[in-house]
């Protein structure tokens, strides 16, 4: 158990994992052994060492392209990773500590690229291909990327970089993956080296680069292997979540790390999803909450038009599902396990998870603490740790916790203390059986279809408009998206701007998921005595107004 005090063992409750002496929750799952920290090893090296110790049969499929049905077997996957790694070192002089921006939708090329970069110690920094030029520039400034890997459709948005730009959907990139090269010299990579920089708005609203280490990623793969149930045939996982999001990033790595086929799908519409499940006999699907909602409501022909009998588990993460949706899913798909999880970019994805059908029966829960990890529920005003079933801020600690926010010590110290505890900013409680229940968010981030939208970023844009005197952005509940960004506007005297004008103004400067979806005009914005904006009051007012119009 992570950070366990030997004197605490006798006071740990066997049902909840709660230590009454130190007010800390310990994982109820068996600890997993990790490589010694003194051993230099990249996450790619770790995966390939697993392949060597438990060889995958040559006929075992590693990757499947849902759109073309193309399959890549494990020997070819390893060959392509090694060939690409060698090409990147010789042609682009990439070396340990360099950073590579990856701007691409889901495809077979992305996991090959990621593992090649990991193997030579290059930091992977994936971003949403829908990002605008200013957003991409900000990511480059944060990560200090020196090379970019992009698809042809987004190459025009990426500025020139010192080591150049590589187009993934090109004959040149294909050649780099398939050309037999000289034997690759071993690169010494420390487990504590940064492996990836993913992006999060954290708790203050400004986009930050989250540094995840090779050790963080090795831990997630070790846990995935440890928690796998014995099977007669390999699980087939389809990831309908973007690989640039920590959720999709983790699912992609775990599938390949466990030696099971991964079906890559760019589109997330339900028709394509249903067809892929039927065609490739998919057993496990990773979805964002809006897709689960759509499944429950039966849209997109998923229920009627496709054979889903192979489907065993639907993973759901990125945002909490409403209880009514969970109940609706269980009614509609009684033989499919809905496995919710809780995690952050800062925790390398899931840190609480549902791992078997019995755990899935606890409606409203997002699983139990993963091995080697600890948690506390803390009163957000006093920092006093609380007992089971009491709500407070969730703090977590363990091998999956980020290294920190890149070049932002102040922001790192605000969420990560000297003892390794990460303040999540979320109000939760843990029940007497060790299950986590999400209640609310302390932080003001809007969760739109699992993506983080920072209100302050949108407010900054709104304040730049000459006809806006005051502006605020707050979440508005939405069944499909979870939350949508809503703008509350105080016009300047004499202005005649309307809602469409405001939506268009912001929409031209941000990625699609950050767009303003609703607008309300107000005489004044609600503030407390200290002048702080009351966002919850805005959301409450908007909901009352919407209800009164029904």
Q: Are residues 278 and 159 in the same domain?
A: yes
Q: Are residues 356 and 418 in the same domain?
A: yes
CA-angle at 186, arms to 181 and 187, nearest 5° = 115
Q: How do beta strands 313-316 and 337-344 pair?
A: parallel
What CATH number did the domain enclosing 359 receive? 3.40.50.12780
Q: Write the DSSP string, 286-317.
A: EE-HHHHHHHHHTGGGHHHHS--TT--EEEE-
CB of 40 closer than 8 Å to CB of 189: yes
| Displacement of CA 384 from its chain's centroid (Å) | 29
Q: Is residue 37 part of a domain?
A: no
* Alpha carbons 148 and 397: distance in angstroms, whole number: 33
pLDDT tens by residue, the chain, 550 residues: 444 444 456 689 999 999 999 999 999 999 999 999 999 999 999 998 887 777 667 778 999 999 999 999 999 999 999 999 999 999 999 999 999 999 999 999 999 999 999 999 999 999 999 999 999 999 999 999 999 999 999 999 999 999 999 999 999 999 999 987 666 678 899 999 999 999 986 544 578 999 999 999 999 999 999 998 888 888 999 999 999 999 999 999 999 888 899 999 987 788 889 999 999 999 999 998 888 888 887 755 566 688 999 999 999 988 778 777 898 899 999 999 999 999 999 999 999 999 999 999 998 899 999 999 999 999 988 999 999 999 999 999 999 999 999 999 999 999 999 999 999 999 899 999 999 999 877 777 788 988 878 887 898 899 889 999 889 999 999 988 889 999 999 999 999 999 999 999 999 999 999 999 999 999 999 876 445 678 888 988 988 887 655 4
* Alpha carbons 293 and 298: distance in angstroms, whole number: 9
Q: Is residue 24 part of a domain?
A: no
DSSP, collapsed to helix, strand or coil, labels residue 483 as strand
Q: Are residues 308 and 424 in the same domain?
A: yes
The whole-number pLDDT of residue 480 equals 86
Q: Which residues on neighbouring strands pair with residue 106, listed in sequence order? A: none
Identify which of 438, 423, 432, 348 has the alpha carbon closest to the alpha carbon of residue 391: 438
**Which of 440, 474, 492 is at the close of a domain?**
440
CB of 178 closer than 8 Å to CB of 80: yes
The whole-number pLDDT of residue 468 equals 93
Q: Are residues 419 and 512 in the same domain?
A: no
Residues 6+ away with beta carbon under 8 Å from 338: 292, 313, 314, 316, 326, 329, 330, 354, 360
Identify which of 358, 435, 364 has the alpha carbon closest to the alpha carbon of residue 394: 435
CA-angle at 538, arms to 532 and 543, nearest 5° = 165
In whole angstroms, how large is the CA radius of gyration of the chain? 23
Cα dihedral sign, 213-215-217-220: negative
Q: Are residues 353 and 476 in the same domain?
A: no
Q: Is residue 20 part of a domain?
A: no
* Alpha carbons 239 and 288: distance in angstroms, whole number: 10
Q: Are residues 235 and 360 in the same domain?
A: yes
Q: Is residue 303 part of a domain?
A: yes
Cα-based distances in Å from 160 to 93, 148, 163, 166 = 17, 9, 9, 11
Identify which of 306, 313, 354 has the alpha carbon closest to the alpha carbon of residue 333: 313
Q: What is the pTM of this model?
A: 0.85
Identify which of 72, 55, 144 has the alpha carbon closest to the alpha carbon of residue 109: 72
* Alpha carbons 82 and 86: distance in angstroms, whole number: 6
Beta-strand ranges (E) seen in 85-236 are: 99-103, 123-127, 147-150, 165-167, 194-200, 208-213
Q: Are residues 436 and 459 in the same domain?
A: no
The whole-number pLDDT of residue 9 equals 66
Q: Are residues 73 and 192 in the same domain?
A: yes
Q: Is residue 502 part of a domain?
A: yes
Q: Are residues 389 and 517 in the same domain?
A: no
- Going by the DSSP 8-state scheme, the letter that residue 114 receives in this structure is H
DSSP, collapsed to helix, strand or coil, labels residue 527 as strand
Q: Is residue 383 part of a domain?
A: yes
The whole-number pLDDT of residue 414 equals 93
Q: How do beta strands 262-264 and 237-239 pair?
A: parallel
Q: Are residues 436 and 342 in the same domain?
A: yes
* Alpha carbons 146 and 157: distance in angstroms, whole number: 15
Instruction: Outline where 153-233 has alpha helix (H).
Output: 171-178, 214-227
* Alpha carbons 44 and 27: distance in angstroms, whole number: 27
Structural domain of residue 294, as residue ranges? 43-440
* Alpha carbons 322 and 363: distance in angstroms, whole number: 10
Q: Which residues on neighbouring strands pair with residue 378, listed in sequence order? A: 385, 393
Q: Write the DSSP string, 40-56.
A: ---HHHHHHHHHHHSPP
What CATH number did the domain enclosing 509 receive? 3.30.300.30
**Which of 440, 465, 499 is at the close of a domain?**
440
* Alpha carbons 422 and 41: distance in angstroms, whole number: 25
How many domains is the chain partitioned into structurally?
2
Q: Are residues 403 and 476 in the same domain?
A: no
Cα-based distances in Å from 355 to 42, 84, 253, 360, 495 = 27, 35, 17, 8, 55
CB neighbours of residue 65 within 10 Å: 17
Q: Are residues 411 and 487 in the same domain?
A: no
Identify which of 196, 194, 189, 258 has the alpha carbon closest to the alpha carbon of residue 221: 258
**Which of 386, 412, 440 is at the close of a domain?**
440
Q: Is residue 11 part of a domain?
A: no
Q: Is residue 240 part of a domain?
A: yes
| Displacement of CA 479 from its chain's centroid (Å) | 20
């Amino acid at each position: 158990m992570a950070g366990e005090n030997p004197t605490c063992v006798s006071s740990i409750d066997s049902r909840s994992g709660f230590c009454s002496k130190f007010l800390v929750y310990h994982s109820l799952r068996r600890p997993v052994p990790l490589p010694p920290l003194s051993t230099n090893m990249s996450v790619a090296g770790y995966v390939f060492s697993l392949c060597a110790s438990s060889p995958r049969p040559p006929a075992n499929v590693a990757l499947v392209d849902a759109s073309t049905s193309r399959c890549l077997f494990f020997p070819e996957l390893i060959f392509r990773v090694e060939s690409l790694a060698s090409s990147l070192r010789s042609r682009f002089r990439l070396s340990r500590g360099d950073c590579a921006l990856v701007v691409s939708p889901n495809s077979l090329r992305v996991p090959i690229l990621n593992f090649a970069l990991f193997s030579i110690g290059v930091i992977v920094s994936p971003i949403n291909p829908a990002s605008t030029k200013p957003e991409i520039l900000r990511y480059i400034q944060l990560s200090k990327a020196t090379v970019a890997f992009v698809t042809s459709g987004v190459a025009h948005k990426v500025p020139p970089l010192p080591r150049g730009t590589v187009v993934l959907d090109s004959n040149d990139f294909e050649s780099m993956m398939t050309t037999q090269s000289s034997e690759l010299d071993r690169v010494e990579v420390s487990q504590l080296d940064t492996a990836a920089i993913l992006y999060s708005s954290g708790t203050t609203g400004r986009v930050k680069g989250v540094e995840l280490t090779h050790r963080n990623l090795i831990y997630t793969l070790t846990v995935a292997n440890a928690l796998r149930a014995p099977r007669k045939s390999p699980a087939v996982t389809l990831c309908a979540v973007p690989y640039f999001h920590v959720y999709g990033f983790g699912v992609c790595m775990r599938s390949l790390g466990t030696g099971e086929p991964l079906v890559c799908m760019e589109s997330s519409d339900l028709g394509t999803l249903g067809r892929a499940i039927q065609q490739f006999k998919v057993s496990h699907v990773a979805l964002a909450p809006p897709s689960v909602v759509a499944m429950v409501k039966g849209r997109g022909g998923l229920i009627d038009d496709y054979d889903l009998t192979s489907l065993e588990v639907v993973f759901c993460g990125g945002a909490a599902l409403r209880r009514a949706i969970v109940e609706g899913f269980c009614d509609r798909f009684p033989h499919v396990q809905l496995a919710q999880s809780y995690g952050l970019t800062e925790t390398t994805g899931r840190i609480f998870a549902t791992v078997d059908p019995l755990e899935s029966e606890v409606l409203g829960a997002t699983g139990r603490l993963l091995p080697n990890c600890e948690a506390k529920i803390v009163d957000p005003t006093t920092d006093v740790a609380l007992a089971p079933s009491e709500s407070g801020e969730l703090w977590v600690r363990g091998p999956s916790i980020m290294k920190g926010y890149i070049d932002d010590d102040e922001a790192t110290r605000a969420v990560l203390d000297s003892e390794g505890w990460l303040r999540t900013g979320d109000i939760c409680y843990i029940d007497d059986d060790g299950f986590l229940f999400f209640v609310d968010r302390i932080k003001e981030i809007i969760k739109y279809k699992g993506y983080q939208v920072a209100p302050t970023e949108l407010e900054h844009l709104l304040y730049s408009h000459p006809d806006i005197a005051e502006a605020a952005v707050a979440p508005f509940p939405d069944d499909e998206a979870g939350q949508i960004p809503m703008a509350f506007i105080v016009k300047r005297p004499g202005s005649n701007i309307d809602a469409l004008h405001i939506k268009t103004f912001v929409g031209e400067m941000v990625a699609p998921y950050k767009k303003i979806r609703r607008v309300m005009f107000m005489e004044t914005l609600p503030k407390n005595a200290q002048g702080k904006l009351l966002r919850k009051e805005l959301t409450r007012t908007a909901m009352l107004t919407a209800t009164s119009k029904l």
